[in-house]
Amino acid sequence: MIIGKDYIGVGCGAFILNDKEQLLLHKRNKEPEKGYWSIPGGKVEMFETFEEAVKREIKEETDLDIEIVKLNGICDHIVNIENEEKVHWVTPNYICKVKSGIAKIMEPTKHTEIGWFDLNNLPENLTIPTKKAISDYKKQ
């Protein structure tokens, strides 16, 4: 049995804004949505809270220590497109601030690029959870 394919996966994401109101994104190097820009995040481990998972995943992926500000929204991440890996994840994402560190790629097999983007000048190829997180943020 494969998480996210044979049963729904539980993930988490961080909508990290810097002091210039720029959003941290990295480019995925694996399916689903390979080559798309995404907010950092990952799966929630057994007996781990969403908040613990977000902090752990961000440290593992970007080497940043973050502070969670509040829940931003929840996404049903369903990819069922021809020629794409079919997956289903449920992913809450949190608005976060950087406590310490400089963002860098810590898992080069999973991500090829990282950067801060102005909310009015984002890449076109955004993942489903990233589009949802941006939409939720703009509603606030």
Q: Enumerate domains of the chain plus CATH numbers.
A: 9-139 (3.90.79.10)
Q: Tell me, what DSSP letter sits at residue 46?
A: T
Band the pLDDT of 84: cuts 50, 70, 90.
Answer: low
Is residue 98 within 8 A of residue 66, CB to CB? The reply is yes
Q: What angle do CA 82, 7, 125 make, to 5 degrees?
A: 40
Q: Who's near 37: CB < 8 A, 6+ residues apart? A: 25, 26, 27, 28, 117, 122, 123, 125, 126, 127, 130
Residues 91-110 pLDDT 10s: 999 999 999 999 999 999 99
Strands 9-16 and 87-100: parallel
Residue 82 above 80 pLDDT?
A: no
